[in-house]
Amino acid sequence: MTAKLLDGKRIAAEIRDEVAEQVRQFVQAGGPTPCLVAVLVGEDPASQVYVRNKSRACEKSGIEGRTMRLPASTTQDELVDVVRGLNQDDSVHGILVQLPLPADGNGGSGFDERSILDTVDPRKDVDAFSPVNVGLLMQGRPRFLPCTPHGIVQMLHREKISVAGKHVVVIGRSDIVGKPMAMMLAQRDGSCGRDVANATVTIAHSRTANLAQLCRGADVLIAAVGVPEMISGDMVGDGAVVIDVGINRVEDGQGGYKLVGDVNFEQARGKASAITPVPGGVGPLTIAMLLHNTLLAAKGIHA
């Protein structure tokens, strides 16, 4: 079997067009221009690229995308004050603190990331990282859906891939992807806004015994571990759907770098019925869902 390629780039473009149209209607009806502020601390090159891409995507959708750049020497208290200021600024609807925060900030002791994220007003928390928004998601009544898992739900929905009653194995238990992904797919119909629900979900991680055997039994395999090509072809069951969340930069053997996922793509595509490429799979969907959340935030605050 050769797998169907799940084209995240095309689906993300479709969603961004839909958001742009909804923004246009919202503003035409008298709403303010939605505004997202990304807070970028330090000079991490990958984070700079991400933030630039987010801001460009905002502008293309009619959303104002501001970036607040702060030096790596910023202290914990200063960053908390910046976030509090954005919470109180009525012209700002979405706040995103780009992660990871630099390890060398705060006089060498690093940031307490959790307490920074806790400071973001839950009504402006377009990443859905705050405890209030995580709790609402757990209870099946989300305010914002976290962007990467929501992008995957949108992809499954638009590709008409049902997970109901199926065995989904999520590899990775991060707060950003693994945990919320598992929760969303196990929800009853509709609670996460889409018909992608009612799955039987297993969360696997670095301490899981017999990982290969577990993965082979999955109808849908979602890899979010950040280990280049860790999922080999023999870990993929015949006809499985493979969603690769990994974006890993590795040497290309010619003095440069290339991006690879957590799945060995060439091996897995011979076994799977459908698979996401890296790049061009899950990645573009994350930004599309961030735009969606920013519009929701603007509508929520100005309803």
Active site residue 25: no
Catalytic residue among 54, 124, 179, 271: 54
User: Is 297 an interacting residue with respect to ligand GUN (CB under 6 A)?
Assistant: no
Measured in whole angstroms, the distance separating CA 21 from the mean position of its chain's CA atoms is 22
* 72 versus 214: smaller Cβ distance to ligand GUN: 72
Active site residue 98: yes
Nearest approach in angstroms of CB 255 to ligand GUN is 27
For the chain, what is the radius of gyration of the CA atoms? 19
178 in a known ligand binding site: no
247 in a known ligand binding site: yes
Nearest approach in angstroms of CB 147 to ligand GUN is 5
CA separation for the pair 141, 162 (Å, rounded): 21
Nearest to 79 by CA among 52, 107, 53, 54: 107
CA separation for the pair 24, 94 (Å, rounded): 18
CA separation for the pair 126, 96 (Å, rounded): 7
In the complex, residue closest to ligand GUN by CB = 99
Q: Which of 23, 83, 96, 272 binds ligand GUN (CB under 6 A)?
A: 96
* 82 versus 147: smaller Cβ distance to ligand GUN: 147
Give the angle 171-174-180 at the CA atoms, nearest 5°. 85
CA separation for the pair 243, 265 (Å, rounded): 11
162 in a known ligand binding site: no
Active site residue 76: no
C-alpha distances (whole Å) from 11 to each of 17, 125, 231, 233, 289 are 10, 24, 25, 26, 11
114 in a known ligand binding site: no
C-alpha distances (whole Å) from 265 to each of 208, 233, 247, 298 are 22, 8, 12, 39
Binding mask 121-160 for ligand GUN (x = CB under 6 A): ------x-------------------x-------------
Catalytic center residues: 54, 98, 127
Residue numbering of the annotated binding site for NADP(+): 172-174, 247
Residue numbering of the annotated binding site: 172-174, 247
Chain contacts with ligand GUN (rule: CB under 6 A): 96-99, 127, 147, 176, 286
